[in-house]
Amino acid sequence: MILGTELGFLPVSAEEMKTLGWETYDFLLISGDAYVDHPSFGHAVISRVLEAAGYRVAVLPQPDWHSTDDVLKLGRPRLGVMISCGNIDSMVNHYTAAKKKRRGDVYSPGGKGGMRPDRCAIVYTNLVRQAFGGIPVIIGGIEASLRRFAHYDYWDNKVRRSILFDSRADIIAYGMGERQIVAIADALNAGIDVKDISWIEGTAVKADKLPDDAYILPSYEQICEDKKAYAEATREEFLNQDPIRGKILAQAHGDKYLIQNRPQMPLTSEEFDSVYELPYTREYHPMYESEGGIPALKEVKFSITSARGCYGNCNFCSLAFHQGRIVTSRSHDSIIREAVKMTDSHDFKGYIHDVGGPSANFRFPACDKQLKAGACRERQCLFPTPCKNMKISHKDYAELLAKLRALPKIKQVFVRSGIRYDYLLADKDESFFYDLCRHHISGQLKVAPEHVSDNVLYHMGKPKAAVYEKFAEKFYKITERVGKEQYLVPYLMSSHPGSTLEDAVKLAQFLKKHHMHPQQVQDFYPTPATVSTAMFYTGLDPMTMKEVYVPKSPEEKAMQRALLQFDKPDNYNLVLKALQKAGREDLIGFSENALIKPRRNKDVSKNIGRQGGSEKNKGRARRGSKENRGNQGRKTGSRSSDSRRR
């Protein structure tokens, strides 16, 4: 059996530690994901950053949580335990938006499910406490980061305490974590008690008393009792997620306080480069080979992260709360070095699958003031329209992609992580748009209009429907001019706060008009720490404190979802009921605009007669015209609309 340490992995067992000559080690890093030593996996980044800082790190992926045996097998670490639940919140990983159990897990060996517990930050921390008592425990990653304040939990349908209290961990390292994790390690190594490590930016800690300069949020007890207080807390949490102008935040939990220090500043370009050029093996640990490997690696192995942060700030997205609104990027040289190294991989076929980040075409801060004064408190960069002070240019990104295309062994470079189309339209220089359509689309370009009702888009924090229509029209014109046959694949969402049945019908009519037939669709998923989740729970927009309609009943959510796939026979009854309830019986019939036909019964001739039209047209409606059948996904729509959200 090949040991991971022989291939450059960090140790996962006592045997592998022995091969390195370690009698002791500094930190145990427990992960809810299988061990993949690739910078797209948070545990890989944190372990390599600690290693580069001079610390010995052992990795314990997906331990058996039913006993302490797995935790104890590596022995007690010298300084502490660090816990990440993985790249996805464990509850999102396990359950659909309808709270149905998922069957598999692409972050586990062979894609099998059940390799991590629900709420794994809590379970893993309690496991460590059983094994090692009062050892310092630091939790991080997306699950801990987004649950750092008291928050609404969709799966329990109640407000839960900060995960710091529920887990009994000592510190949360929120956000991306590289700077704070080294600062915590250095403090522990200097002999400072973990309870006294309270000053590090990008961390949240427990305290007995309030700091003098803290902004006090409504308490856990208050937001449990008062939904308006919950909305107010959400608003202040979001408005203070800026490393320059943000305040220290405090939230009482009983007689204790959660203290969130200001966010860390984004990494500089040089720091960003150094993190991504650490000695990752870029493979999964060999212990998984017999089980079929780790499916999630396939999606990212030949992709390159070029930027972090997002000033798109969609209400249903947690990126601004986790990575921040200030965009920072890696240098061209660093990215090219990574691409060259990629081409030496035995299974590289000549295709770079993606070069991007949260939004692929964001490379720099939105404006010059962000790195000096911070992102604006009351003004969004792109919503409702692009800010007049925003610097709009794709020149740097276009130059980067051109350099990558020119490398030996590179056949094509794709952009798949998403284009912010309103930003692209705002660029008066169309050369990147032409480059994108000519060189960087693998047949389909995924974009995220999410909806077509301006009412819903407003509550999502997305641009108006006319912006997407303009983008789509321009995309197909440019695609034709460069001699390509390419399609847009729009992400679409049902049942977002603000969405009525009338809005859902409008979206269905859009799909009908453009001959689009989504194979999979996404119902709104109230995940922790988003503005949209606050709307879902409180019925209030936390930014305006105005009331918001929220579709909550299982029946209405099912109807809105069914309307996105109105032509599926299994959805007929739901679509019929939705149209009747929305007062849109005019869309039941044989006309060109109808979504569904009347049921066939002994009175079908009467139904047809009421619809009007010639016998010839009725026959065409029943069969479906040849023109429409042949026009699936042509310039007015997409060939197949896979609307899964990441």
User: Residue ranges of the domains in the chain?
Assistant: 4-203, 448-458+490-646
3-state secondary structure of 521: coil
The pLDDT tens digits for 56-69 are 999 999 999 999 99
- ∠ CA 455-456-458, nearest 5°, is 70
pLDDT value at residue 148: 97
Q: Residues near 630 by Cβ (< 8 Å), separated by ≥ 6?
A: none
Split at pLDDT 50, 70, 90, the class of 601 is low
| Cβ atoms of 31 and 10 closer than 8 Å | no
Split at pLDDT 50, 70, 90, the class of 418 is confident
Question: Would you identify the CATH topology of the domain 4-203?
Answer: Rossmann fold (3.40.50)
Split at pLDDT 50, 70, 90, the class of 1 is low
Enter the tokens of residue 390: 């925003």
Q: Which of 178-182, 227-231, 522-526, 597-601 has the lowest mean pLDDT?
A: 597-601
d(CA 399, CA 101): 45
d(CA 413, CA 400): 11
> Does the pLDDT at position 631 exceed 50?
no
> Does the pLDDT at position 612 exceed 60?
no
Residue whose tokens read 């990558």: 404
Average pLDDT of every residue of the chain? 92
pLDDT value at residue 622: 35
Split at pLDDT 50, 70, 90, the class of 639 is very low
CA atoms within 13 A on the CB side of 172: 31
pLDDT, greater one: 17 or 622: 17
The pLDDT tens digits for 34-92 are 999 999 999 999 999 999 999 999 999 999 999 999 999 999 999 999 999 999 999 99
> Does the pLDDT at position 642 exceed 80?
no
CB neighbour class for 471 (10 Å; exposed up to 12, middle 13-18, buried from 19):
buried
Helix or strand holding residue 1 (H, E): none
User: Model pTM?
Assistant: 0.90
Percentage of the chain lying above the pLDDT 90 cut:
89
d(CA 35, CA 138): 19
**Residue 645: Cβ within 10 Å count:** 17
pLDDT, greater one: 434 or 624: 434
Split at pLDDT 50, 70, 90, the class of 320 is confident
| Cβ atoms of 359 and 419 closer than 8 Å | yes
Nearest Cα residue to 141 out of 197, 90, 195: 90
Split at pLDDT 50, 70, 90, the class of 619 is very low
> Does the pLDDT at position 617 exceed 70?
no
Percentage of the chain lying above the pLDDT 70 cut:
93
> Does the pLDDT at position 410 exceed 60?
yes
3-state secondary structure of 140: strand
